[in-house]
Amino acid sequence: MMRSLDTHALRGQPVIVGAGVAGLLTALRLGDMPCVIVSAAEKPGAGVLASGVGKALGRDEAIADRAAKTLACGAGLASPEVVQQITDAMPHVSEDLARIGVGLDAHDSGAALHAALLAKVHERQNVTIVAPAMLRRLTIIDGHVRGVSLDVGERLLAIDTNIVILASGGACGLFPGALTQGPEIGAGMAVAARAGVEFSDLELIYFHPLTLDEGDARSTGVYAPVEFCKYGVLFDDAGCKLNVEQRDPGSLARDIAVRRAQGRAVFFDITRALTADAFKRDPALNAMVQQCRARGLDPKTQALPVRPAAAFQIGGIKVDVAGRSSIPGLWACGEVACTGFHGASISAGNPLLEAVVCSGFVAESVLGASLSPLCDVSGVRPDRAPLHRQLSMVRQAFGNALGPVRNRAGVLRELDTLSRCSGYDDAALMGCLTMISALMRQESRGVHYRSDFQQRDAVARHSVLTESDMRSVVRTIGRNHFGPTSADAQMLDGVLARDVDFASRL
């Protein structure tokens, strides 16, 4: 932790919240511009990143092929313009990274890429890293970002700035057993929500179907890439095989989730496929085997228990491709942002591609921004009430209501509990926002599946939501006594249309 910090010397510098790939690259791409990186971890980690970085970033892949796959996977919600802008940048990614001293050939794992970026940031004298620290508040004056309040150990610090870039990750950590190694519980999104930012498609969560199941709700961080299905057999404890031919990961996750809800375990057997030739063709296969052995499981001799796990939040803060949000002065990049690139699901490699490419777009936007004079926010002090103290309750609620299969009754039952805490607890706030978004999407599309609305609507619509909208809906639900047995779709439709005018905004 930094023991001394001259906030006056940092006055006016862009503040980047998050030290993952998106945050570090944004700082590096700002060039000589002084900036501040705020990280919740003293030694920022890489989280769950692609093992084949070069492949993820489109090395040896045609632009048209990646764009076509992305649009098909997006199920009508991917923006053709955004998809074109990001995929058009693929051929230049390797050259752009080389300019800042990072070569893809030398850093083809996600962890290695992150470590290389972090080392480059530490070399920059113009970048100040504040860690461990948490963003506690955005100061908004006349509708514009004017400063941030940071919790740094025992101190609350305020920095005057007109530029804040959120790169703080998504909220998959709010799910039990999520496939994430970092504190991705939506802390940055919650702060932005209380500042009034617009969110889009928060209900869209990608669940990885083949995560190692060790029998509890903890995250193992171990998973088999979906393409590994070609190596083995997927079956349940009754001996019934699951059809994996031409199945998208979302439908496979739902199939496994349904069986587990019935009390049945699911196993992935690759014992017959682990040959020397297989390891030579796919180095990632060897890495997975070693991870399993470290946990006392040997894929060469036994089938692996698997389950779906939340792995990537597709929705987030609504931004354009340059990361500009609905609040002037606030940008977002990476998983915390919703650019419209992914649509209703994700295509392999696209989360990393978006973070790498859009960090450049964000930096260009920030460097070209015209800024008004700074304001003195040194007197602003956020509430020091404990944050995320309801985290265990939120995780239980998410597990009960927001898994790969959702329905109205389950969401309403958990929403009633979380809404009572959302005013003072950030985890509960993100829980309510996500649940209201799930209620709004009364269809099944991409990774979002409603057992009570199993068909896809004829017209693809984005969900758009603010904290104020959410509270209006929660109040109306309370007045109308919605409960776990309510199934009156027309009544809820009326609530959403009357109180928040969602019908015109979707």
Residues designated catalytic: 254
What does 76-96 look like in DSSP terms, one character per residue?
Answer: T-S-HHHHHHHHHTHHHHHHH
Name which of 261, 208, 207, 217 is nearest 236 in CA terms. 261
* 8 A C-beta contact, residue 170 and residue 346: no
Instruction: Retrieve residue 338's tokens.
Output: 């919703």
Name which of 78, 136, 30, 86 is nearest 426 in CA terms. 136
Other CB atoms within a 10 A radius of the CB of residue 356 amount to 26
Distance CA 351, CA 346 (A): 7
* 8 A C-beta contact, residue 382 and residue 139: no
Instruction: Return the amino acid letter for 193.
Output: A
Instruction: Retrieve residue 58's tokens.
Output: 């489109």
Name which of 129, 165, 175 is nearest 403 in CA terms. 175
**350-367 and 90-99 helices, crossing angle to 10°:** 60
Q: Please provide the size of the chain in residues.
A: 506
Distance CA 473, CA 97 (A): 45
- Bridge partners (DSSP) of residue 448 are 445
* 8 A C-beta contact, residue 113 and residue 52: no
